[in-house]
Structure 1
């Protein structure tokens, strides 16, 4: 076993030659509130606000304890629960202009800052004998930064408190204090907070901020080693020995957060090796553990490629946030493409349509959601895929609400000089911001994407500037058409995926068409997954639902057991020439569909999305591996019934599903080419 101190010394040697200032990110974020969701995306965030996310402060014990001033119901713990809740609900409340949530997040901020002790410490350990551990404060810091962005009048109060805490944290790190197993893996979050202070409010403390960043890296998991070819696990890890003596370095959520460690490190080392390692980290993770849903498998620890293994909800939202940060620093298209896949597939698939219940773990092939026997998840409990208030562990209840808000707030960026504006994620948005030279810009993007292929964009600018739009890697034969009728093919930059559009002062409008082909992704055991554009398509298994638990204080908060009520044992023909894409909504390229077609809400529910793919299939024998979870997809299955056509729908709208299918096609021999996870052929 490799001792962690070996890597600490290596890190120290590397960082000792680091530059004395931060390298800039390639792209910058906009302040919270400049980007607003519209259309179906606004509806989705409204569903979240009406669900458990917007109400847990009223009844959920982890964030509603009444042990502080005024009899208010509040967050006694500035640790995991309260900190997660604050980080998620600050953008949620502001994006939805929800007065109640905004008042509660403001009260939370006030309470925490008002109770900072004389040493600078923030948190429940003040006045107690409990050890001081750093990590639980980091999500709170993210939330506080967002509040400063939206309400600049809070700047002095928040920044003063953060600088006071940093001085204390620096002393603690020099004394090897404040670091336990979670802080040792999540140090990168604090580094990003310190970099925000350095970039925007250094107050002459640049040297201290840089020193704290370096010591955080020294104190923690050496992610460049964990994610290296030499040490990275290429399959499930439950029967492996961790070479670092740090089991939590293979923990799925820690790794999701750790994906942004190396680009964060690059900013103070200026070492190209950190960028190279960050790129390799991403590729290794999704090569050996990736899902067609866009996420990767880790039912607590890394779990390989089997379709029945689990993916934690916290992992999904943290990987989305890390992917956004990776793009901001490095600018590689693969990060944005993957985040968009996760947002439109993995995130909604693991939450009930009304967003009152969520799973701890989702599966690619999931034919039931119940207390399973025997347990298919080696590191988690058999209750993990039940939809409810807190199946297995409660962390995802308070953490998942950051997913949609932070996807929205990272959807637009500016160039480093703030002269140009970039739409990174495709969807319906409105933006109102000020670029450099006091250039006031308004943007409206009207689209059904990902349930449609066309984006209608209107820009009103005080001065000319360059507007860029990401063109996803799956787009084929796309074009852009301007209001005067001029049309050109999409020709994005090969690395960043950005298509530049020169915008003049005044009003500019254009239509961007981003069609995609049906594609097949090779999976284990000769199985395949079906995609079109950002969406993974799955068989939506008919289901029964039974309430098996209910919170005594909130009738909406129930645990749901789901079981199949229809057939799911199918193999499909993998020849894409036999597959047909259907869209009931997008019919006319000339006018916005919202004028004539409105997507139902909640959109991620059975039968709601207007898009589907029909495929040829036949019934096969597909045995169970236990009480309502299945074996791996059978290889070379024999049809036991006549060929028929079945409908596949977006993965995110399913709760029970098959999304990795056995293949009976005569074209099966084509699937032997390429690695698992690659697109093998397209129509």
Structure 2
């Protein structure tokens, strides 16, 4: 057993013990997160992480001035706010998922400086103006000499991941001292003293306090968590009520915009679950269910994310979604899954990850879109339908610095944290709740076990689990059978298959032996779903399909935001799908090819296509770069002029497109 593996196993067992020692109000997670490094991505997922490491994720400090120039998290005068912790929040798990020595060394430079420069009072972060210019000591009695609470919340997430991967004994005392400082300082320096970002994102703070409580069981931490929750935006109440989400749909003024800011909302989704964890009060679970349903009903888009450009902005397929909102919503869902064990959020995470996330960066991960659009027929500079257009019109193009650079720094946590949440632990076993190729190495009931998950999912329907263990391991294994799957099949070692209805979490009680092979098949049927203005999206399994449009890329430069790429359609796009396929989508022809190695999310590598009968809508044209949706009446068919000629168009998975139509009008 390697030293790292031994530490991971010990930490996992310690966590199990910790749950039995908690206060009565603290609710154990249904599914417990495994320490960083337990899961190693393989196949297409590993290819994605390697691309990230070799490009911006692994080298952002070299190409992004805010992180590279005199950085505040290294004691300099540069960025000491959110962007450096944002980058580390993705770069640290990337370094340990790939076990990459060079990237570990790079991120450790920032972690070591942070750990080594905690003030005697417990305060930490970049050197403040008061400290630098006056030599002032930051203490609870002099907390105003400190700086914003918000970026520290992100850095604490970084340190938590680093601790679980490394076991560095400096981390827990560091966090203990900081929370003692925070507890003594909140009256004089409340959460919103410096910015409203901290009050809108207080859940991030509460979450990490409760993580530490799981380790040391100090009840004072729960008191602090409750105090911070009281000073934060009341997201749980807002999500559970109806007024907030309705007002967000109706109000696009500058009033209370922080309460409908898409990234704030993405982070806040987990607030009810975090509060339930601390209190055991099931009202929070009801608030979460109401809030998620209302949010996706009023603001949801076919690719699984809500509109956020930057504010919540309704469900029209020409609204934008910010990249930061996607990765933060993914992380919130990963936490919600652990705490609630609710399959609906597992399916929601899968839909968002496999559709919304990959389309918003270039193949090499060196350029990103600040806002993506569902029906995105053109990528270019412009105002579009966004609530935040910017005077330079750079929100829709692909660039390293286009739009705000918060997403340049924050996008790296999307794939890395998804990879760390494929598997969870249960009290006596393991659970595979999201599927992608990976190797799991852990201990169960004191016994070593390795599970190789071999699959091309979500592009194929077969998932094979191969077991490697020195001695048989008796444990329950939980598998998610998605809501979209009518009936799955399971067989162990080639025995007669078992048929299982979809929409459930299936637990298999078994003694697993070395060489055992479990095969799960999730048949994928073509279906259609209804979206804004009576449009339809074509789906198959976890993937949403969009029109394949030939792309013409152009490189440009903007003096402030640098180089960028526009993408224009080089083939026709103004199609409506025939009513007959809405009534009987199972007739559509699906073509599958091998998943390419190395794997890239672009048109040329799309491993699945669907041939769809369609007709052109001549009057559906771009207006200032926007393909405003033709209205389909309640009889379900577009009433305007439609071409008499029927054509067959090709749809590919949404994540492989840059220009596309995904929400189609329906025509005769």
TM-score (normalised: structure 1): 0.86
CA-atom RMSD, angstroms?
2.4
Q: Which residue of 2 aligns with 1:183?
A: 198
Deviation for aligned residue 1:218:
0.6
Deviation for aligned residue 1:503:
3.7
Q: Matched residues in 1 for 2:623 and 2:279: separation?
A: 51
Q: Identify if the C-alpha distance between structure 1 residues 146 and 67 changes in structure 2 by more than 3 Å, giving closer, same or farther.
A: closer
Q: Which residue of 2 aligns with 1:210?
A: 222
Q: Identify if the C-alpha distance between structure 1 residues 285 and 176 changes in structure 2 by more than 3 Å, giving closer, same or farther.
A: same
Deviation string for 1:365-401 (max 9, x for gaps)? 01111112x5421223232110111211110010000
Q: Which residue of 2 aligns with 1:668?
A: none
SS in 1 for 2:91: helix
Q: Which residue of 2 aligns with 1:24?
A: 28
Q: Which residue of 1 aligns with 2:441?
A: 432
1:391 to 387, 399, 402: 402
Q: Identify if the C-alpha distance between structure 1 residues 238 and 387 changes in structure 2 by more than 3 Å, giving closer, same or farther.
A: farther
Q: Which residue of 2 aligns with 1:229?
A: 241
Q: Identify if the C-alpha distance between structure 1 residues 581 and 483 changes in structure 2 by more than 3 Å, giving closer, same or farther.
A: farther
2:84 to 79, 82, 85: 82
Q: Matched residues in 2 for 1:634 and 1:621: separation?
A: 14
SS in 1 for 2:233: coil
1:149 aligns with 2:164: yes
Aligned positions, number: 619
SS in 2 for 1:575: helix
Q: Identify if the C-alpha distance between structure 1 residues 601 and 452 changes in structure 2 by more than 3 Å, giving closer, same or farther.
A: same
Deviation for aligned residue 1:357:
0.8
Q: Matched residues in 1 for 2:495 and 2:75: separation?
A: 58
Q: Matched residues in 1 for 2:188 and 2:227: separation?
A: 10
1:662 aligns with 2:661: no
Alignment of 1:6-155 (within 5 A): 21-66=25-70, 76-126=78-128, 127-128=131-132, 132-152=147-167, 154=168
Q: Matched residues in 2 for 1:466 and 1:357: separation?
A: 43
Q: Matched residues in 2 for 1:107 and 1:217: separation?
A: 32
Deviation for aligned residue 1:504:
2.6
Deviation for aligned residue 1:50:
2.0
Alignment of 1:239-254 (within 5 A): 239=251, 246-254=256-264
Q: Matched residues in 2 for 1:663 and 1:582: separation?
A: 20
Deviation for aligned residue 1:324:
1.1
Deviation string for 1:477-500 (max 9, x for gaps)? 3201222422110246x5x53343
1:626 to 623, 627, 630: 623
SS in 1 for 2:365: coil
Q: Which residue of 2 aligns with 1:258?
A: 268
Q: Which residue of 2 aligns with 1:11?
A: none
1:421 aligns with 2:430: yes
Alignment of 1:528-607 (within 5 A): 528-549=536-557, 558-576=563-581, 577=584, 579-585=587-593, 597-607=594-604
Q: Matched residues in 2 for 1:176 and 1:246: separation?
A: 22
Deviation for aligned residue 1:267:
1.8
Q: Matched residues in 2 for 1:92 and 1:74: separation?
A: 25
Q: Identify if the C-alpha distance between structure 1 residues 147 and 369 changes in structure 2 by more than 3 Å, giving closer, same or farther.
A: same
1:643 to 643, 646, 650: 646
- Please tell me whether the aligned partners of residues 618 and 644 of structure 1 are also in contact (alpha carbons under 8 angstroms): yes
Q: Which residue of 2 aligns with 1:594?
A: none
Q: Which residue of 2 aligns with 1:158?
A: 171
SS in 2 for 1:464: strand
1:302 to 312, 315, 325: 312
Segment of structure 1 superposing worse, 156-165 or 632-641: 632-641
Q: Identify if the C-alpha distance between structure 1 residues 128 and 574 changes in structure 2 by more than 3 Å, giving closer, same or farther.
A: farther
SS in 1 for 2:468: strand
Deviation for aligned residue 1:67:
5.5
Deviation string for 1:553-579 (max 9, x for gaps)? 9xxx84101111110010111433364
Q: Matched residues in 1 for 2:485 and 2:342: separation?
A: 16
- Please tell me whether the aligned partners of residues 32 and 150 of structure 1 are also in contact (alpha carbons under 8 angstroms): yes
Q: Matched residues in 2 for 1:398 and 1:485: separation?
A: 49
1:511 aligns with 2:522: no
Segment of structure 1 superposing worse, 567-576 or 79-88: 567-576
Post-superposition, which runs of at least 4 consecutive aligned residues in structure 1 deviate over 4 A? 18-21, 72-76, 128-131, 235-238, 550-553
Q: Which residue of 1 aligns with 2:17?
A: none
TM-score (normalised: structure 2): 0.88
1:368 aligns with 2:378: yes
Deviation string for 1:300-359 (max 9, x for gaps)? 111110010000000000111111111111111110101111110100011112211110
Deviation for aligned residue 1:192:
1.2
- Please tell me whether the aligned partners of residues 620 and 641 of structure 1 are also in contact (alpha carbons under 8 angstroms): no
Unaligned runs of 5+ in 2: 1-21, 134-144, 633-637
- Please tell me whether the aligned partners of residues 488 and 499 of structure 2 are also in contact (alpha carbons under 8 angstroms): yes
